Chains A and B, each alone.
Chain A
Amino acid sequence: MKRLLSAVRDICFSRALFPLVIGFFLLLYIGIAFVTNDTLTELMELTRTNMFLTLMLALLPLSSVGRIAAETGTYLTRRRILSGKVVEVPTELFDENVRLPASSSFAGLQGRLNAVGYKTSGSASMLTAWRGVDSFPARGLFLTGTMCLFAGIFISLSIRTSYRGTVIEGEPFPAPTGNGGIVERIVLGRSSGLFLSKSLTMEVASTGDGKAGGKFGIYPPSRYEGAFVYPRYLGVALVIRFYAPDLPAGYETHSILSIYPPGKEAGEEITGSPYRIMLTMAEPDDGSDPFMTGRMVFQFKLLKGKEVVLTGSAPSGGEFSKGGYRLSFPDSRRLVITDFIQDPGVLLIWSSALLFLVAGGIWLPVRVFAPRREMMFRLESEGIRAWSRAEGKSMSHEGVFHEALDTLEAARPVT
């Protein structure tokens, strides 16, 4: 059991795990691309439904956690070594590791290192020199961002639920857990924002049984009972009354039409008859938006089979009649086709974007202007041991390190 746990830990901590899993999914993507054009959608669906693939995907955030743990451990160990709290120095923590044959002292070396810009500290038996900023905080943020990103994707693929409802003025809010309060108003306006050209507000009243109401906009999406409210399309809920010479009894329907923006066409079958009405919202001559103003005029085309028998237009509340046909629109209301999405992964993915941004913002200037360079000298029974590492500008750092060793060598007492 202990060996198994150790093996699992080694796998999670391994740097190879992450690229191997990514490579596996890349190969799978390429394989799927041979058989279908909707490769990405298929890959997502396959990962969602196949336990093995889901577990493979879960390895990515797990690997990131493993790397965070491993690299934090390495960082802390190195700090303790440099402060002299740990004597045993693992070779992989430093780039160079040298033993000078005879004992010596650090006299003069500290001053030389200070002169070339290194900060120093130490005791009679040890000297530590460093300059620049460690990139570990940026690396830690990057790894945390990676963990959030893939945890978000994993959660999103595994448990995301989506429910589509139609939010209509004057009707109850179609929440996934049952109807909410009455939708008091749907307001579409112009937005002066950098990214959005329109603003949309759905104002919902609270219900008597304690369900809170609220205002729901476009972005960032608001939440209702734990689900994100994601407006997708605009349309009109239209009451259509229709009479025809061969349909004297008439026909009335409450139609949900996705006919916004003006010019977009939608159809309504007249059940039990050969008739079909195609509707569009007319574009006002003054260039205004009918959804914003509420002044809606509907253009229609009446088809009997494939034959167009009537065309015309009528405003909301108006009527059109010709040749025995009569079509009226007694009521129209704004509607928003809305997705209610329960997906905690979204927040993690947003967080990852923020973390990547901060990590990049820290890493780039540190790496370019002040990369961490460290060296350590320790007096031991058989002579001096020295270690060195650099995260950047390594050539000049190695030059300083080698000269420091030369200085120690030159200071060695002649025997």
Chain B
Amino acid sequence: MVAVKLIPHLLSWAGIVFVLARGVAGRRSTVASAAIAGFTAGVVSVSVLFRFFQGDTPYVIIRDIVGGSLLLLWGVSVTAVYRSNVREFPLSWGGRLVDTPFRTIIEVLAAGILAGAISTCRFSDMAGSALPLILLVLAATAVVFAAMAAEKFLPQSFTMSHAGLMAIVVGLLIFSASSLIRLDLFSPLTMKVMKFAHDFVHQFFESMLIPDHLFIRDYLWGYIGFLFGKEVGFWGGVFIWFTPVILVAIAIGLERLPAVAHIRQGAERRKILAAAIRARRIRLVIPCVAAVILAAAAYRSCFPSVEYWDPKPVPVSADPSGEIFIPRKGEIDLEDGKLHKYLFKQGGKEARFFVLMTPGGKLTAVLDACAICKPDGYGQAEGTVICYYCRTLIPLETVGKPGGCNPVPISFTEKADGVHIDGLKLINDWGSTVQATSRIKGEGK
């Protein structure tokens, strides 16, 4: 089963080696050895990380590094546009660095380390066993040789710009990461954008002395309210996701054609220009493919092939003193590591919450909603719970802690027989935190 799940990672790895072999043409043996060394280093580093850090930390580190690569791509793509557009852009030292073998080794090593690290996360639950990791490195080595062999079949006219090469390598790494829900980047990105949009609108209103919603027409406030919604997070995420590859394509499109004014034969001039335009069009293929790969990664993030554990809320009631009691064992076993949802109704009001035993062995009770998003609730998968509204993953270790998109903690008493919750306080907690968000963003489910 793990072998099947490794397919996207190995395919991405094959793609990375394939484009690197062509992108740094003439240095095939350097690419092959640096790729294998990098991948092995990535596998070893992550297995060490899993040995020394518990919980979500290794995933967070790897995800942040993959996110950093997207950021780096942003920098490279903006620079590429400037270089194509601005004649006196001062990058001569950078240009010199780009053409050195040192750069080739660093790039291939870095790509290999990241690809190896991401693939190793598939084996996180097999900690301590070296055999799967050795098999992974052997498979990756075989993929390197296969990709190098396949690259020879590409026509020689197929070239790529340095920014294009980086775009596709980063795209493939992100695609590989998106196969693992805990390394997924797109959904957390949309969440951050949503928060930024909210903060920006608030700060903009304050800074520009724009009147509050009290004085603004409803239709206009409806449009402004749109800026606080999930759609803005999604489209903002799409913008950040795809802009670097679009900029790379624009940079290629803006590349200056060779100066031919000194040639006095019109046919010769046209031939040179046509060849340059053709080469430029071929170089556009790579950013276009990178855009498709990034789209696939975003799609996997929005529609992950993961079954979430999401039980139907069990109705509960309070005793005359207003206390809700949930037994530790019984029809539902609170200690089975799964989240268990409950629905409490009182006086026309209701509150949804769930109880969960964290990996640390402590029971925790939280609302089935966070303080930021519309109360669409949470599902559970692969050591995390996921907010259905913004698709942010919350590690199980942090469920019960307040802040961000974490489910809102509620006060409860854990006794030997089970969990005791104050019903009135629960209703009030739901009312004060959750209804505020649903009023802004529409009704929850």
Contact = CB atoms under 8 A, between A and B. Distances in A.
Contacts of A33: 192
Interface stretch (A113-121, A163-171, A194-202): A194-202
Contacts of B203: 40-41, 44
B271 to A, nearest CB: 13
B214 A39 contact: no
B260 interface: yes
A196 B217 contact: yes
Interface stretch (A130-138, A308-316, A399-407): A399-407
Contacts of B64: 34
B209 A16 contact: no
Interface size class of B (residues with CB under 8 A): 35 or more
A37 B207 contact: no
A196 B212 contact: no
A197 B219 CA distance: 10
A349 B203 CA distance: 13
Interface residues of A, number: 55
Most buried by A among B82, B210, B256: B210
B71 interface: yes
Contacts of B416: none
Main secondary structure of the interface of A (DSSP, over half): mixed
Nearest to A229: B209
B207 A349 contact: yes
Contacts of B209: 219-221, 228, 230, 341, 346
Interface in B86-120: 86-90
Given A195-B220, A350-B208, A409 B264 contact: yes
B276 to A, nearest CB: 12
Contacts of B214: 198, 233-234, 260-261
Contact of B269 (A34, A230, A402): A402
Interface string A383-397: 000101000000000
Contact of B207 (A23, A98, A156, A261): A156
B259 A41 contact: no
Given A39-B199, A198-B215, A234-B214, A19 B261 contact: no
Contacts of A23: 75, 78
A209 interface: no
Nearest to B221: A197
A37 B404 contact: yes
A409 B264 CA distance: 8
A405 B86 contact: no
B266 A406 contact: yes
A346 B266 contact: no
B55 interface: no
A15 interface: yes
Interface in A81-118: 92, 95-99
Given A14-B90, A33-B192, A346-B209, A195 B261 contact: no
A159 interface: no
Contact of B199 (A38, A96, A99, A409): A38
B445 interface: no
A218 interface: yes
B192 to A, nearest CB: 6
A6 to B, nearest CB: 15
Contacts of B89: 15-16
Given A39-B195, A40-B200, A221-B209, A96 B215 contact: no
A232 interface: yes
Interface string B172-200: 00000000000000000000100110011
B260 A402 contact: yes
Nearest to A33: B192
A98 B88 contact: no
Contact of A19 (B82, B208, B215, B256): B82
Contacts of B88: 15, 92
Contacts of B87: 92
Nearest to A341: B209
A-B pairs with the 3 shortest C-beta distances? A40-B199, A98-B261, A197-B217
Interface of A: 14-16, 19, 23, 27, 30, 33-34, 37-41, 44, 92, 95-99, 156, 193-198, 200, 218-221, 228, 230-234, 260-261, 341, 343, 346, 349-350, 386, 388, 398, 401-403, 405-406, 409
5 contacts: A19-B82, A33-B192, A37-B403, A95-B256, A349-B208
Interface of B: 64, 71, 75, 78, 82, 86-90, 192, 195-196, 199-200, 203, 207-212, 214-218, 220, 256, 259-262, 264, 266, 269, 403-404
Given A16-B89, A200-B215, 6 more contacts: A15-B88, A37-B195, A96-B261, A197-B215, A197-B216, A261-B214
